[in-house]
């Protein structure tokens, strides 16, 4: 699914593609209050912000990942065409959104998630939104 007004997350959580802009302007403290993962990266994938929900899902502290490349240093399982490739395509084509299912394979167990990638060329930033759907040991 790309573009359009389709919801990304459960309406109870309040994030839809339409509301991504408002989430992008939240302070880091407010990002930590969200019930889904939010990772802000530069256009090369270096992490600029990493919220508490994403840290809990990945079992990583935000302080341990800031300044590292999300695709190669923090979540190398995402450095594939199906994830990092989509981010690069968005970045290079200026496509604003893409939503897709993904399986994170953590050392502590796999997690089925829904991912929304958003690239903002004007701000030279990308956002990775992650909603956990199910976890497996």
In what side-by-side order are the strands of the sheet with 125-136? 47-50, 37-42, 125-136, 109-120, 97-106
Between residues 74 and 22, the one the model is more confident about? 74
Higher confidence at residue 104 or residue 6? 104
Q: Which domains does the chain have, with CATH numbers?
A: 13-24+37-136 (3.30.450.20)
Instruction: List Cα–Cα distances, 100 to 2, 23, 65, 110, in angstroms.
Output: 9, 19, 24, 16
| End-to-end Cα spacing for the chain | 28
Q: Render pLDDT for 59-96 as a digit per residue (tens, 0 to 9).
A: 999 999 999 999 999 999 999 999 999 999 988 886 67
CB 79 within 8 A of CB 72: yes
**Phi, psi at residue 60, to the nearest 5°?**
-130, 145
For residue range 83-131, what is the model confidence (pLDDT) as tens digits?
999 999 988 886 678 888 999 888 888 899 989 999 988 889 999 999 8
Instruction: Provide the whole-model pTM.
Output: 0.85
CA distance 127 to 7: 16
What's residue 108's pLDDT? 86
Decide if pLDDT at 13 tops 60: no
Comparing 25 with 1, which gets the higher pLDDT? 25
């Amino acid at each position: 699914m790309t573009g359009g007004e389709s919801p990304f997350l459960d309406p109870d959580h309040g994030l839809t593609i339409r509301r991504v802009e408002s989430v992008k302007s939240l302070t880091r403290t407010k990002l930590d209050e969200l019930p889904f993962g939010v990772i802000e990266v530069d256009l090369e994938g270096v992490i600029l912000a990493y919220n508490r929900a994403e840290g809990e899902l990945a079992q990583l502290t935000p302080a341990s990942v800031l300044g590292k490349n999300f695709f190669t240093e923090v979540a190398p399982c995402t450095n594939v065409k199906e994830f990092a490739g989509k981010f690069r395509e968005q970045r290079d084509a200026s496509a604003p959104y893409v939503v897709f299912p993904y399986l994170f394979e953590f050392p502590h167990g796999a997690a089925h998630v829904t991912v929304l990638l958003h690239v903002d060329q004007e701000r030279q930033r990308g956002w990775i939104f992650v909603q956990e759907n199910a976890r497996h040991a």
